[in-house]
Structure 1
Amino acid sequence: MSLTPAPKDDPHTLVSTDWLASHLKDPDLRLLDASWFLPPSERNARAEYEAAHIPGARFFDLEEISDHRSNLPHMVPPVEKFMSRMRAMGVGDGHQVVVYDSTGIFSAPRIWWTFRLMGKNDVAVLDGGLPKWQAEGRETEDLPPVIRDRHMTTQRQNHLVKDVTQVAHAAKLKQAVVVDARAPARFAGEAPEPRPGLRAGHIPGSRNLPWGNLLNQDGTMKDPAVLRMIFQEAGIDLAQPVITSCGSGVSAAILALSLERIGHRNWSLYDGSWAEWGMYEDLPVETGPAA
């Protein structure tokens, strides 16, 4: 299968700090700080945003803008809640959205995926995020943005998300390649899960591709040609549909963004990921490295 990679600066996937600097004052640009940290880090994403953010950025609270009806962590919000929160943030139709985080590339792709799921394609992740922006000596501020309501229409793209039943069916019948972004020790079941009560291991037949393998040392994403080689070396058949997974659906979006960058369009994200699969005793679990 021929894959057409995305250009270096692509407003639908990934843009550089140079691109953002040249478009920062565009009237229809909306910049979102989607920083989020795992609980052990003891970092407060909102407090860090309030102390310093790229000029004009709004804070996208991944935990608050989620489905609070679910007992799983930060599941994708209902369409109505997403639309309401975006309108309150002044994000709507006709806007070019750029999402960044203060790790480099970690939680921002999850918000990119959420917008794509809602049918919004004019959204990109800032390559290297806030650390690269600051390392280059670019401006930050601590002022809240001026918000003006903007209407948003959505058209949910259900093919971009999978639930546990769909993943179990696809894995059993080998209808798709399930790719797990967790660290090798967690994938193999050799390290305990950070969330209590979860079994250790992975979805049977899945492949392991730790999300950090897709990034350079400076937190930027590797070039599409290199990404494609990494997927292939991980034993992932890019002629097949791909379902991305991880611990709770955050780093799985880094895999999804990488697939989009290399031109692989037939992918979806398992929103519940291991937080869900590892919870159900009746679902099969494999341990050890991928076969």
Structure 2
Amino acid sequence: MSAESRYIVSPEWVAGRLNRAGFSVIDASWYLPAHNRDGKAEYAEGHIPGAVFFDQDALADTTTGLPHSLPAPEFFAAEMGKRGISETDTIVVYDGPGIFAAPRVWWMLKIMGAGDVYVLNGGFDGWKAEGHPVETIVPAPQPATFTPDFQAHRVTSFEAMREVVASGKSQIADARGAGRFEAIEPEPRPGMRSGHMPGAKNLPATAFSENGRFRSNDELRAMFTEAGIDLDQPVVTSCGSGVTAAIITLALESLGHTDNSLYDGSWSQWGGRDDTEIVTGKA
């Protein structure tokens, strides 16, 4: 069996490190309306012992008019500090089903300066299924200092995305489902156009895992090859609102690809404007 991502950890690995100094766990559960799940409510009902909750809608730049935009480094650092998390900690991020919303917070932590960050394989659903401990007590961690070291080049702005589309200087990997990418299905946000950016390749986020477990490196590499993504060239990841694009980022980084960035506005921004070029059909 081929190697697994160095950024993915097992429930056993996490369970063996709970309560250690400098070890932090974050519940990053977030869902689309179609999932009919509430991450904050589920956290209150039970979570990994010591885990703090990361509300992806609240811990965001709310001035952009777009969903859960990347916050300013100073705001992000202050919120992490309130949760007892330092950039020097070993940090594990998880969500409910596994590889869905957790990679977004993994990516945020990485680009804000945290160096030792992982995603829990199988998510909280898998954690419970294996019989690991669950608590309902909301922890009150000691405040910590998170010193940000923001990697701005890992975030693609709208203006930069326009240039990428016009020049083709970077490959574009879109994590939305094929129906939305090809404009066969409508976008979940009313009034938004379907389709994709010129030159984009479709790599649906759901294909990167099975039963909440991240695919092996060989499987990931084959997925990129099949989609027409050259791993020796730069890549910009995108999705509906910037969350599941980070799953592609996690896969790229797992394969040693570091020349990548995430289009934070994603389709919410591109498809929500009337001055952007859109292509329909297969890539």
168, 192, 195: which one aligns with 2:189: 195
Residues 171 and 127 from structure 1, CA distance in 2 versus in 1: closer, same or farther, beyond 3 angstroms?
same
Partner of 1:148: 142
Partner of 1:247: 240
217, 230, 234: which one aligns with 1:237: 230
The CA distance in 1 between the partners of 2:237 and 2:192, in whole Å, is 19
In the alignment, is residue 263 of structure 1 matched against residue 262 of structure 2? no
Partner of 1:284: 277
Report the CA distance between 1:139 and its aligned residue: 0.9
Report the CA distance between 1:80 and its aligned residue: 1.7
Moved more, 162-171 or 59-68: 162-171
**Normalising to structure 2: TM-score of the pair?**
0.96
Matched ranges for 1:45-64 at <5 A = 45-64=39-58
Structure 1 portions without partners, runs of 5+: 1-5
Once the two structures are superposed, residues 64-110 of structure 1 have per-residue CA deviations (whole angstroms, 9 ceiling, x without a partner) of: 10001110000011112111111111111421110000121100000
**Normalising to structure 1: TM-score of the pair?**
0.94
In the alignment, is residue 30 of structure 1 matched against residue 24 of structure 2? yes
Matched ranges for 1:22-171 at <5 A = 22-171=16-165
Report the CA distance between 1:146 and its aligned residue: 3.1
Once the two structures are superposed, residues 93-131 of structure 1 have per-residue CA deviations (whole angstroms, 9 ceiling, x without a partner) of: 421110000121100000011111212121111111111
**Kept after mapping to 1: 8 A contact 2:5/2:255:** no
What one-letter code is carried by the residue in structure 2 that aligns with 1:283?
T
**Kept after mapping to 2: 8 A contact 1:160/1:267:** yes
157, 162, 172: which one aligns with 1:178: 172
Q: Number of residues paired by the alignment? A: 282
Q: Identical aligned pairs, as a percentage?
A: 43
**Kept after mapping to 1: 8 A contact 2:88/2:115:** no
Partner of 2:200: 206
Residues 226 and 7 from structure 1, CA distance in 2 versus in 1: closer, same or farther, beyond 3 angstroms?
closer
Residues 270 and 198 from structure 1, CA distance in 2 versus in 1: closer, same or farther, beyond 3 angstroms?
same
Partner of 1:3: none
Residues 93 and 254 from structure 1, CA distance in 2 versus in 1: closer, same or farther, beyond 3 angstroms?
closer
Match of 2:184, SS?
coil
The CA distance in 1 between the partners of 2:123 and 2:85, in whole Å, is 20
Partner of 1:220: 213
**Kept after mapping to 2: 8 A contact 1:9/1:19:** no
The CA distance in 1 between the partners of 2:198 and 2:4, in whole Å, is 35
Once the two structures are superposed, residues 200-221 of structure 1 have per-residue CA deviations (whole angstroms, 9 ceiling, x without a partner) of: 10000100010111112x2110
The CA distance in 2 between the partners of 1:68 and 1:282, in whole Å, is 23
Report the CA distance between 1:7 and its aligned residue: 6.2
Report the CA distance between 1:8 and its aligned residue: 4.0
